[in-house]
Structure 1
Amino acid sequence: MRTTSVGVFRIATIGPGDVSGLMNLIGSGTIDPRSILAILGKTEGNGGVNDFTREYAVSALCTALAPQLGLSPEAVEQRIAFVMSGGTEGVLSPHLTVFTRSKVERPAGPSDKRLCIGMAHTRDFLPEELGRSAQITETAKAVQVAMTDAGITDPADVHFVQIKCPLLTSERVAAANARGNKTVTTSAYSSMAYSRGASALGVAAALGEIGSDVRDEDVLRRYDLFSKVASTSSGIELMHNVVIVLGKSTSSASEFVIGHAVMEDAIDAAAVVSALNSVGLGLAPQSIADRELVNIFAKAEASPDGSVRGFRHTMLEDTDISSTRHARAAVGGLIAGLAGTGAVYVSGGAEHQGPAGGGPVAVIARLSD
């Protein structure tokens, strides 16, 4: 019986342009470059509008993989889903997570659900569509396409949806104005939140977590509307959404499993433990007799009401350091302490990604069988 096998490889990097770890795995035959479907990375930039480490990392990866695949670097970027998340504050460690997918033969018979992955792209957005219903609707469509690509039919089997989405620049705002249209904001930094939020609501709509009647004015206002599995990250390097769906399916013969939980706030250690337990893991050290931790993916944000469990925080009032950098450091430290490693994927800005001030946390583990 033909089925899919998904592989996951966490690779440390010494800088945003470091591709040596990936190339070593390709050179040794551990990774077939033709099987690479997606690469998620944490880079040591500021995670803001001017964080060029993200584009630099993608450029380095595409240049390195191009001769391996017999393609141009531009064609590599179209073939593989690249999601680079800037910001490794505190104990977070820069790294790549490479996902591969290939067809394999497996004897017919009952099987438990294993890790599966699917990918899709939206169309390019006009600047005035970012943060609004068009982005929500198109993202929802892409999530459903990615679910089909992953072999998932039940939304309950979706455990993490990673999206890379665009942001506004002064040039993009001017282009909209020239057509007689207004963008949702003229601030490039604020547009990152609008784009992340609309993309997350698209995930929620696709999975039935919310109704389909979401309005433009709900974005960044109706925080009671959110997805429990969405993780969105804004970048300057694209004008469409890249959608990666991670879940479980009986059609997968992967040696990996995935589970998730939802953090109610930035110090919700119980949710992190629950996510670890969902794949049969406990607290650090990260491996037990028949399984080991591969990576943890989480969202982080400063609670918009200015408090955590009744006590005031100052992350939103600090004009020296962005609140997203505070949040990544805080949540990253919490997860690293519980997991026993700082090489975890924590992304800042969790608008409509979990309850306000919280966010989803997903864990991937490798089974010994």
Structure 2
Amino acid sequence: MSTTTLMTTTTTMNTTTPMTTTTTMNTTTPMTTTTPMTTTTTMNTTTPMTTTTTMNTTTPMTTTTTMNTTTPMTTTTTMNTTTPMTTTTTMNTTTPMTTTTTMNTTPVTTTTLMTTTTTTTTTPITEPPILEERNLSFSMDIDFQESYNNPESSVYKDTIDAIQNQSKVHISVPTTASLIGFRSGSTIADYSISATSLEDTEIVALQTGVLTQMGAIYRILFDSPDPLKFDPSDVFISVRVTVTCGPPPENLNLDDWRAEWRRDNELIREDSLHSFSKANGAAILTVSNFFITDNGLYECKLIDNNPNPPGVNFRQRGDIELRETPVIRVTPVRIKVECVDQQIELRCSVNSPYEVEFLNVPVFGHRFPS
């Protein structure tokens, strides 16, 4: 019998592969095959990425089929058999069959949720220490020159060396010592000391050390922190006034000295109105008859008589001004009154800047008993 047969076959295939894939297979074969495929896929993916993959895969499949006929799937065959036109066959295939499968794979978007642990490291901020600063100065009894401010000058080098050396010796904490500069009056050196703490006793020791070191090279002026002493402190015209200078501090070792007095930078010479003396290690100037011309800024300098080494001179200053004598006017100066109950007016005035004060009498007057 010659028969042309189109066979529709439903094949169930159980295949285990290492992929889990849902595949729609459009296969052009002499057969229409519906194949449920169970795929096991093991994917170990650590990927912080979103991946889109398009796969066009041609997969060769080998199927073994046992049929009651030996016939290609799509063919014109002369068969000596009776075969139903539509059969549902469970095939145990032993016949090699090569199938070409075109797979249209839907792009797979893989979203990986990543948990990020952020460690914040806080670095402690160390604030710089608060420094205490002292501005100090000392004077050298030499004529000022602007060239002293040149760092290459010998005066500059000697001064900065003394300040830094004595800071290391007398200040107990790390110290920054700097020379600010020189100015006139004989020659004044300004410098600063900075440290986390500065004790007054250490500052005094530092100043003394600087003067001692510089005094071995230059004649130094020690300026007393205390002013000259005037007696009386309130001076009126024609009174006798004494001015006391010193005594100098013992650590200056200023034992043999001579006094030099100036008023408004003018040298005072001893005469009938001005006399010099010494008492208890101090120099004394006596003004026997104080006039308005004696007003002004007084300066006393105790000069070391020993020239080797140059040493230290002591200086003290103070100013005084003659006070205007009060002029008091009273009216009436004299009056006769009857011993009866009555009020008597007494007027009293004084020149500025003075004011009138009645002692033991009410401000608005006094009522005398009859």
- What TM-score results when the alignment is normalised by the length of structure 2? 0.24
Report the structure number with the largest CA radius of gyration: 2
Bigger helix fraction: 1
Higher relative contact order structure (alpha carbons within 8 Å, sequence separation ≥ 6): 1
